[in-house]
Amino acid sequence: MDSESFNHEQLAGQRLMVGFDGTDMNPDLKFLIDILKVGGIILFSRIISNPDQIKQLCASAQGYAFSCGQPPLFIAIDQEGGQVARLKEPFTQFPGNPAMKGEADAVNFARVTARELIEIGLNMNMAPVLDVALDEGQSIVASRAFGSDPQWVSKLGTKVIEQLQQKGIMSVAKHFPGIGRTTLDSHIEMPTLDVDPNTLESSDLLPFKAAIQHNVAGIMLSHILYRQLDPEWPASLSTRIARDMLRSRLGFRGIVMTDDLDMGAIEIRYDIKTIIKQILSADIDVALICHRSQKIENAFEKILDTISRSPETKKTAVASAGRILKMKGKYLDDLKGN
């Protein structure tokens, strides 16, 4: 299967990673996979009861995707350790990035986490956090970041990336180009940063550059407005940041995705048609919508309509689907036919 052979519906669906309701393979999840042809699903605590249940759910979802002639699914989770860990006991609980004392801690976290995720059928971890918490007392991400030294963040972050991916779990570094300077929570409102690009270059961007050099599978964009990079659009909707900076200048060839489009920073400002228009213009591969709502269908329809009307958008959609399929081929090839 290659992206050139995809129909318009597949080109649209592969751009979506979505949340859903229910703890088993239900008609709505089948609808998301078969009719909307979503490229991935993301799991949250609300649908998790025990390891066997998650393992059966993941296996059923992958099996159903195969029966529908679809590529394997990205099945993702936020398992950073510390305060952001969707899997609770009996899964191993780690104190989080700020508690790591060195590379050995990073390696141990990643190896154990990868093994436990693989065992239950997951293949992508929305980790590590590569934000540099420059003001540890005020930074919104201080309790999730490795620290305030860009070199230290790079060192531990790349160890996590290496070990997760060596064990078969795709790593998604976040939140590009860095939220460590913000104090406002983008789950509620959109933070604004007025920081000189040279300052970002010498600090906030260093861990992401290191992640790219270590072939990180994915990078998640933040919902922050960086006035001196793009005065109009937050990073998650910005052509200047996603396409021009991350892809063209930094040379990232992996999967670029938004943060959750249900977060307040985005939801209270933009309708889904505007959001999707920007995502397609910015060459962003995956729109992340973490709660089950009509927004998912609307996003699919907007992508589909734009691809159908615009040959140029279809061309970029084929390229995006190609990147997605390449990553799935690298990590999920053994799922074909299972």
Task: Please state, in angstroms and rounded to a whole number, the distance separating the CA atoms of residues 256 and 247.
Answer: 9
Q: Considering 8, 187, 214, 291, which one is annotated as catalytic?
A: 187
Distance CA 293, CA 19 (A): 9
Angstrom distance (rounded) from CA 278 to CA 267: 14
Residue among 1, 3, 2, 18 nearest 300 (CA): 18
- Main-chain phi, psi angles of 240, to 5 degrees: -65, -40
| 291 counts as catalytic | no
Q: Which of 78, 131, 259, 285 is catalytic?
A: 259
Q: How would you class 160 by CB atoms within 10 Å of its CB: exposed for 0-12, middle for 13-18, buried for 19 or more? A: buried
Active site residue 187: yes
* Active-site residue set: 187, 259
